[in-house]
Chain A
Amino acid sequence: MNTMTLYVEKDSPVHHLDPLVKLLYVVAAIALTYILPEPLFIAGVLFVTLLLLLVGKVFRNSLPILTLSLFLIFSLVIVQGFFHPDNVTELFSLGPLVFYEEGLYVALILVLRVLVMIGSFSVLILTTSPDEMVERLIKKGMSPRIGHVILSVLQLIPQMRATTSKITDAQRSRGMETEGSMLTRIKAFFPLMGPVVLNSLNETKERSIALEMRGFGSSMKKTFLNEEKQYPYNKLLGGIIIAIVILGIVWRVMA
């Protein structure tokens, strides 16, 4: 069963890191862009993030995600450049619209921040299997129910997609056209959605019974199937990340 995940299975130092450390990195990297909103500094964080993507051998896989954000980046530059309230220094004008330097500066910070967010989340998501992450979080005390919700949502969508294609086949076999004009497609909607919804409801009911049969709701302390992975540099890396954040705060307060 394939799940809906962006996880890329590879062998790299980043893949072997503790998911929690990577999660901490995401939080720290984004926090730093707020603590020290200087373009040069944020560019530094971005550089480290991109470096992690490279080391994790997933830089290529992160490109589509970054491309998707281009639209946001583009609109940020336009809106800030033309309309930021602090705008004074004119850079160039397009007819009646004037593009300002201050706006561009603000946009630059925002754009870099967006890139850091997307990049750091990519580091986490592309190099961590959802199973590993959820299991790690449950071991740290997250409710197994929430863990189940996260994992089942990732599974549900491909599962529904598979069901839908089966149902489409069954209805096409009974002479229903699914391609063509808008009207044909609208007509095809109910014959397709009816079984999809009913099947999903049935499956949910059966799944919850199956889970209960195996003691999912029991209040006993749960054990784990997978042996706990060893993450040797855990404390060190976590410590370094936290230290950098604290340093950033100190810098900000002092300056």
Chain B
Amino acid sequence: MNTFELKDVAFSYSLDIQIFDGLDLTFDSRTTAIVGQNGAGKTTLVKLMKGLLKPSKGTLLIDGDSIDKQTAAQLSRRVGLVFQNPNDQIFKTNVLEEVMFGPLNIGMSRNEAEKAAREALRKVDLESKAEDNPYDLSLSERKLIALSSILAMDTEMIIFDEPTMGQDFAGKEKIKAIIEELHTEGKLVLCILHDMDFAAEVFERTVVMNQGEIILDGPTRDVFSKKEVLEKAYLEQPYVTQIAHALGYDESFIHESELINFLNKND
């Protein structure tokens, strides 16, 4: 998959509140973060992309081909979506079986599915828990299991909804490594985030949404340098950018290491 395109998409849950009205957006091979305050339409957007919701107007295209007629289950071969709350999906009494559920649904044989599942569990470092009951694990571990259950399906595009929520530093580093690995494998990676620092550190492109509209879209560094626009969407700049600004430097920093190197050189 090279591009996922939304063309002139309109959607509303009820007649009086329009969520999207003529939204145009294209995702490409750059890893992309979507940020925006609660209710900006981020989750609705990815549900539309996943076929869980159908737009009232407009089309969605993968590599130029319309996917309007495909059900969510059919799309699941190509687009994977990791939900916020792992408890909404876990129903097996064994981690491995849980991770194998998706691959089996999309037509892998048991052997292939098990291989894919073990590989996915290895990526999140939970291989040793393969035989455990998912509900004996912690919430952050269950989140990683939900993540690996999508990884195992080996889709061309992966969408994460708030993967870093409730994760400690180690968990975030794991997710970061997974995103980078998926990117090098040539997959499209899209991520809904509230964590600006994580967005700044990991993603090449950032899209800022506010009330169903795209108010900023571009390379992450450019987006996070526009303090005024971000504030309009009730978002803050990453801490490292704020610190650099408070220290009186005009350059925009989005990685900690950049600022540290810069300060070391200036000493």
Contact = CB atoms under 8 A, between A and B. Distances in A.
Nearest to B83: A170
Nearest to B85: A166
B77 A173 contact: no
Contacts of A177: 71, 73
Q: Is the interface of A mostly helix, strand, loop or mixed?
A: helix
A173 B88 contact: no
B87 A195 contact: yes
Contact of A195 (B52, B77, B88): B88
B7 interface: no
Contacts of B76: 172-175
Interface in B195-216: none
A169 B47 contact: yes
Interface size class of A (residues with CB under 8 A): 20 to 34
A198 B135 contact: yes
A162 B50 CA distance: 19
Given A163-B88, A166-B88, A195-B89, A173 B50 contact: yes
B106 interface: yes
Contacts of B106: 175
A170 B89 contact: yes
Contact of B87 (A173, A175, A198): A198
B238 interface: no
Nearest to B152: A174
Interface in B77-93: 77, 80-81, 83, 85, 87-92
Interface in B36-57: 47, 50, 52
Contacts of A170: 83, 88-89
Interface in B58-77: 71-73, 76-77
Interface of B: 47, 50, 52, 71-73, 76-77, 80-81, 83, 85, 87-92, 101-102, 105-106, 135, 149-150, 153
Interface of A: 163, 166-167, 169-179, 190-191, 193-195, 198-199, 202
7 contacts: A173-B72, A173-B76, A173-B150, A174-B153, A176-B73, A177-B73, A195-B88
